Chain A
Amino acid sequence: MPFFLVASIIIASIFMPENLKAMQDSVIVHVPKDTLATNHPDSSSADAVRVKTDTLAKTKSWVIRGEVNISTGFYRMTGLDAPRGQMLPWGFTGKLTLASKSGWIIPVTGIYSSQSNRFRQPYNQVGASPVFKEKLILHAGYRNVYFSPLTLAGHTFLGGGAELQQKKLRLGFVYGKFNRAIEYNLAQPDIIPYFKRTGFAARAGFGTKVSFLDLIVMKVADDVNSINTLPEEQAVSPAENLVIGLSSRVRIKKKFTFEMDGSTSVFTRDTRAEAISDFVSIPYYDVIKKVFVPRISTQLSTAFQTAIGYRARHFNGRLQYKRIEPDFKTMGAYYFQNDIESYTASPNLTLFKSKLKLNTSIGLQHDNLLNQKKAQTNRLIGSAALVYAPDENLSLDAFYSNYGITQKAGYMPIIDTLRISQNNRTLSANGIYMKMGETTVKTFTATAIYQELQDLNSHTSAFNENKNWNYSASYTYQDLVSDFDFSLNYSYTLTKAADLNSLFHGPTLSLNKRTLKSKNMLLSANAGYMFSEQNIYEFIEKGGVLNASASISYTLFEHHNLSLNWSIIKSTGGQAFSENRGTVAYQLTF
């Protein structure tokens, strides 16, 4: 169990700090794999192995680096509902990287928490993807592997696989469990049942790491027998998915880039449904059914996206086209927006020795690709950001974005009272001025954000429109000699919507001080008070929110860090409540 392995490393390093110095430079791990990798079957006697590993040790063949974190805490809330308090789950995260002289780099990650339970998909995960000389990658454990954005695109699985880049040949294969089975529980109806889902994805391609053409095939399916029969009212059903995709990237002289991804996904929502061949005739059905049986609940959808990019000293830009059919999904990717056809252009300028930057983007989108919807929704999305930094002390930026929605008739004539016509706008400005002294740094920042949802349909505007104003100004003082800093911030937020007016404003003060001889203790405190005034359906509620936190962080022997953190939110007024959180965390880096 890697968890115990890591835990024993921590314990050993706590009680034997003198060993740690040795670990810092390099940790010699006698890994049999490396010995075998020398490919001398004759030298497999015990003596020979010992000689071999000793030699490796002298040349520091294996180096280990990493960090582990352990944390726990408590949470207590009184006020809104019945008082509740609970220990926060304790959690462990660990990252180790082993590197060998022979060319292996083995990053291992592990997460463990007491909150993991059998009614959810796993929180606790351990996995590794060893890399050999940038040619071969192996996968084992819980992994998120990415073949292309429209096929296997990072969905977590528990399993194994390999990817090979040998000269111009590109190969990849993974197999694993994409969901674990979770039974329906009558006592806890909120728990979503899952079927066990397993499958594979394979990739074959031609090219280098930056310029290639890959063909990807993925087949993943639920096991109908992995959980007990579900009650009729449960909408969860065993599904099956076959995806065939192409993915290509081309880079020419670091200036031009080309990207293309296409995919066809055959997705059966319920493998218990009748075969579609019972109802309609399908050409080449005898061949098709050997690979995948199309059923009444099977959908065939396609997705395609392509982009070209250009990068030069003063200008870079990107043109993108995307077409994703309604309800396009694959079991290799988590949910993403579909039923969308979009065109995007993003030209960016860098002028006056990078003192002025202008980043812009404009996009057109529409849905209802297969004319299934009553109305078609069009979106016009634009943004522009201007950053001006004349010297290292001053930076000013302004940002504008608009997300406009209009509708036109789709499958049916559109009713005016329901027609959506909206603009969702944001305008912001931000300024930072830094004054550097010999031992001090003073920073002034000011930010203003205006955001509105404008509804152009007079029938719905009264309910939908809303506006936000957000202003903040802060001053930070850092004393580099005494390792002390403080900052004072004042913020103001006003929200106006139908039947709601809310105002929050108030100051926040933060202090940080490094102390002790070797400055290895950091004390931090933060306190803010927000005055609130809310006007809901003509009822006025006045109150305030106190938000405070304090923390101590102590570092021992450069590698061990223990931190304690406590925070409180206390709200007075109409919805009075108080919330306490405390956390304890330990970090070991090596």
Chain B
Amino acid sequence: MKKYLIILLLISGGLRAQQITVNVSVAPPMTPYLLDNIFKTGKFSIQIKNNTRETIQLKLTGSIAGDNGLWLKTKPNYHPPKPIVLNPNEIRILKNWQELQDFLDGNNVDYSEIDPQTIARNGFPEGTYNICVKALDYVTNTPLSFEEPLGCSNAIHVRYTEPPVILSPVCDEEVHASNLIFRWSGVVGAATKVTYSLKIVELPFPEADPNVFIDAVEVPFFEQKELNINNLVYNASLPKLKPGKSYAIRIKATDPQHKLIFLNEGKSAVCKFMVTDLPHESH
């Protein structure tokens, strides 16, 4: 570690580079939306500390870089209208973008391949990102803080992990209770093992919207958690579904290791199915 630090010191221009210490952090919980994580006031904070006994006028520059090759970084000629002034030994925590100035503004950054307008519209592509911030002398552009990886945030994972899709029964389908197999597509894009829970709620009347009642009901008709495979044969050992009744069904994917963040909290779209007396092919 010491060697590493020494090399860093040499690269970054000797002793001047430790005049300012920069710490960057992003507060949990993470959402799949990197922009929300970074740019929302309170989520992202930069702590800057003046390690000298002199007042320092500085500006901040930064970068966002992902393991997918995408990067954005402050233009070399960036010059904010006024400096951040740090008194001797002062520690300041910058939490909102008025204080942080505009070093990651769309107009003030160079970028790899996706322009900031597209990112603002579509979000960041999947990947693992780091945000790094550096302090420079306001007038001379001399680095005042260490180079990367110091001054960098914790890794931020952007994954768009979609919830399961119910394959059978098809929404609004009539089914016969003795031939019923619930099937859903496994979660795509999950490197870890995902478990599923299946919830069935009896609807108060056939036309009822299943979305309204799936969460409004205190005691579900049937619920099975921690399913390891993406189907469930609803055989005669389970509570008997009543002919003539309609039910709402939803599958929820969960990561037992709590690493994955799912879109829609891992919940599939809610479907309704009707139970009939007559045998019917189960799709």
A581 to B219, CA, bound (A): 12
Contact A272 B41 (CB under 8 A): yes
Also in contact, A449 and B36, with CB within 8 A (given A88-B219, A371-B125, A428-B282): no
Closest to A569 in B: B239
CB of B125 within 8 A of CB of A297, answer no
Q: Which of A26-34, A313-321, A399-407, A515-523 contacts B (4 or more CB under 8 A)?
A: A399-407
CB of A466 within 8 A of CB of B229, answer yes
> Once bound together, how far apart are the Cα atoms of A270 and B27, in whole Å?
16
| Chain B positions within 8 Å of A121 at CB level | 212, 215-216
Is A272 a contact partner of B40 (Cβ separation < 8 A)?
yes
Expressed in whole angstroms, the Cα–Cα distance for A489 and B69 within the complex equals 61
Q: A474, B126: Cβ atoms under 8 Å?
A: no
Residue from A276, A339, A571 in contact with B237 in the complex, judged by beta carbons closer than 8 Å: A571
Is the CB of A55 closer than 8 A to any CB of chain B? no
Complex alpha-carbon distance, A279 and B121, angstroms: 13
Q: Does B81 contact A (CB under 8 A)?
A: no
Write the nearest CB–CB distance from A410 to chain B, whole angstroms: 8
Scan residues 224-283 of chain B and give those whose CB is less than 8 A from a CB of chain A: 228-231, 233, 235-240, 263-264, 267, 269-270, 278-283
Q: Are B279 and A296 in contact (CB under 8 A)?
A: no
The answer to whether the Cβ of A526 comes within 8 Å of any Cβ in the partner chain is yes
A80 to chain B, nearest CB (A): 12
Using known A-B contacts A272-B41, A279-B102, A547-B240, determine if residue A497 contacts B228 with beta carbons closer than 8 Å.
Answer: yes
CB of B70 to closest CB in A, whole Å: 8
Interface residues of A in 459-505 (CB under 8 A from B): 463-464, 466, 468, 470, 472, 474, 489, 491, 493, 495, 497, 500, 504
A445 to B277, CA, bound (A): 12
Interface footprint category on A: 35 or more
B121 touches which of A233, A300, A371, A504 (Cβ 8 Å): A300
Q: Which residues of the partner chain A approach B105 to less than 8 Å between Cβ atoms? A: 278-280
Q: 1/0 per residue A99-138: CB within 8 Å of B?
A: 0000000000101010111001111010000000000000
Chain B residues near A226 (CB, 8 Å)?
Answer: none
Contact A549 B269 (CB under 8 A): no
Are the C-beta atoms of B68 and A472 separated by less than 8 Å? no
Q: Is the CB of B211 within 8 A of A504?
A: no
Closest beta carbon of chain B to A325's beta carbon, Å = 8
B116→A233 contact, CB < 8 A: no
At the interface, yes or no: B31 with Cβ under 8 Å from chain A?
yes
User: Which one of A113, A504, A579 lies within 8 Å of B235 (CB-CB)?
Assistant: A504
- The one of A279, A447, A526 in contact with B240, judged by C-beta atoms closer than 8 angstroms, is A526
For the complex, give the distance between the alpha carbons of A571 and B236 in Å.
Answer: 12
Cβ-based interface call for B142 (8 A) = no
Contact B239 A270 (CB under 8 A): no
* Contact of A337 with B104 in the complex, beta carbons under 8 Å: no
Q: Is the CB of B236 within 8 A of A278?
A: no
Let me know if B186 and A422 touch, CB within 8 A: yes
A504→B238 CA distance, assembly (Å) = 11
Assess whether A432 is interfacial by the CB under 8 Å rule: yes
B243 to chain A, nearest CB (A): 11
Give chain B interface residues in 139-171, CB to chain A under 8 Å.
160, 162, 165, 167-168
Stretch at the interface among A89-97, A212-220, A554-562: A89-97
Is there a chain A Cβ closer than 8 Å to B78's Cβ?
no
Of residues 210 through 237 on chain A, the ones whose CB sits less than 8 Å from some CB of chain B are 232-233, 235
Tell me which of B9-17, B51-59, B176-184 binds A: B176-184
Q: Chain B's interface: helix, strand, loop or mixed, by majority?
A: loop
B29 at the interface (CB under 8 A from A): yes
Given the known inter-chain contacts A121-B216, A281-B106, please indicate yes or no for A383 contacting B193, CB distance below 8 A: no
User: Which residues of chain A come closer than 8 Å to B279, judged between CB atoms?
Assistant: 430, 432, 445, 447, 474
Cβ-defined contact, A335 with B97, below 8 A: no
Q: A495 — which chain B residues lie within 8 A by C-beta?
A: 229, 233
User: Could you tell me the distance between the alpha carbons of A403 and B164 in the complex, rounded to whole angstroms?
Assistant: 13
Q: Mark B81-112, 1 if CB is under 8 A from A, else 0.
A: 00000000000000011000010111100000
- Interface 9-residue window, one of A241-249, A251-259, A348-356, A373-381: A373-381
Cβ of B127 within 8 Å of any chain A Cβ, yes or no, is yes
Decide if A403 touches B125 in the complex (CB within 8 Å): no
Q: Is A13 an interface residue (CB 8 A)?
A: no
A362 CB, min distance to chain B CBs, angstroms: 15
State A7–B269 Cα separation when bound (angstroms). Answer: 35
CA distance in complex: A93, B207 (Å)? 12
Q: How large is the interface on B (under 10, 10 to 19, 20 to 34, 35 or more residues)?
A: 35 or more
B230: nearest chain-A partner, CB-CB: A453
A385 CB–B CB distance under 8 Å: yes
Asked if residues A493 and B233 are in contact (CB atoms below 8 Å), the reply is: yes
Residues of B within 8 A of A553 (CB): none
What residues on B are CB-neighbors of A367 within 8 Å?
162, 188
CA distance A397 to B39 in the complex (A): 58
Complex: how many Å from CA A447 to CA B181? Answer: 13
Which residues from 377 to 401 on chain A have a C-beta closer than 8 Å to any C-beta of chain B? 377, 383, 385, 397, 399, 401
How many Å from the CB of A127 to the closest CB on chain B? 12
Q: How far is the CA of A454 from the CA of B103 in the complex (A)?
A: 51
- Does residue A324 face the partner (Cβ distance < 8 Å to B)? no
B230 & A279 in contact (Cβ 8 Å cutoff): no
Expressed in whole angstroms, the Cα–Cα distance for A120 and B213 within the complex equals: 10
Q: How far is the CA of A282 from the CA of B35 in the complex (A)?
A: 17
A411 at the A/B interface (Cβ < 8 Å)?
yes
Q: Complex: how many Å from CA A111 to CA B205?
A: 9
Question: What's the Cα separation between A535 and B181 when bound, in Å?
Answer: 21
Judge whether A156 and B212 touch: CB under 8 Å.
yes
- With contacts A463-B193, A549-B240 taken as known, whether A296 is within 8 angstroms of B39 at the C-beta atoms is yes
Structural contact, B218 and A374, CB atoms closer than 8 A: no
Cβ-defined contact, B181 with A156, below 8 A: no
In whole angstroms, how far apart are the Cα atoms of A278 and B98 in the complex?
9
Closest B residue, CB atoms, query A495: B233
**Of B121, B165, B208, B233, which contacts A468 at CB under 8 A?**
B233
Q: Does A165 contact B (CB under 8 A)?
A: no
Q: Does A54 contact B (CB under 8 A)?
A: no
Cα–Cα distance between A336 and B239 once the two chains are bound (Å):
28
Please give, as numbers and ranges, the residues of chain B lying within 8 Å of A327 by CB-CB distance. 123, 160, 263
Task: Let me know if B28 is at the binding interface, CB within 8 A.
Answer: yes
Q: Which residues of chain B come closer than 8 Å to A150, judged between CB atoms?
A: none
Which residue of A has the minimal Cβ distance to B163?
A335
**Nearest 8 pairs of A and B residues by beta carbon:** A280-B106, A545-B237, A115-B218, A123-B216, A334-B211, A296-B39, A411-B125, A399-B281
Can you report 29 residue pairs joining A to B where beta carbons are below 8 Å apart? A91-B204, A111-B205, A113-B204, A123-B213, A235-B29, A274-B39, A274-B96, A276-B120, A278-B97, A279-B105, A279-B120, A280-B105, A280-B120, A299-B122, A327-B123, A339-B162, A372-B160, A374-B189, A385-B281, A403-B167, A412-B68, A426-B283, A430-B280, A447-B279, A470-B233, A470-B235, A474-B178, A504-B233, A532-B237
Q: A89-B218, A497-B229 are in contact. List 8 more A-B contacts (CB 8 A).
A: A89-B219, A123-B217, A233-B28, A279-B120, A297-B33, A297-B36, A401-B283, A468-B181
Residues of A within 8 A of B (CB): 75, 86, 88-89, 91, 93, 95, 109, 111, 113, 115-117, 120-123, 125, 144, 154-156, 232-233, 235, 269-270, 272-274, 276, 278-281, 296-297, 299-300, 326-327, 334-337, 339, 367, 370-375, 377, 383, 385, 397, 399, 401, 403, 405, 407, 410-412, 418, 420, 422, 424, 426, 428, 430, 432, 445, 447, 449, 451, 453, 463-464, 466, 468, 470, 472, 474, 489, 491, 493, 495, 497, 500, 504, 506, 508, 526, 528, 530, 532, 545, 547, 549, 567, 569, 571, 579, 581
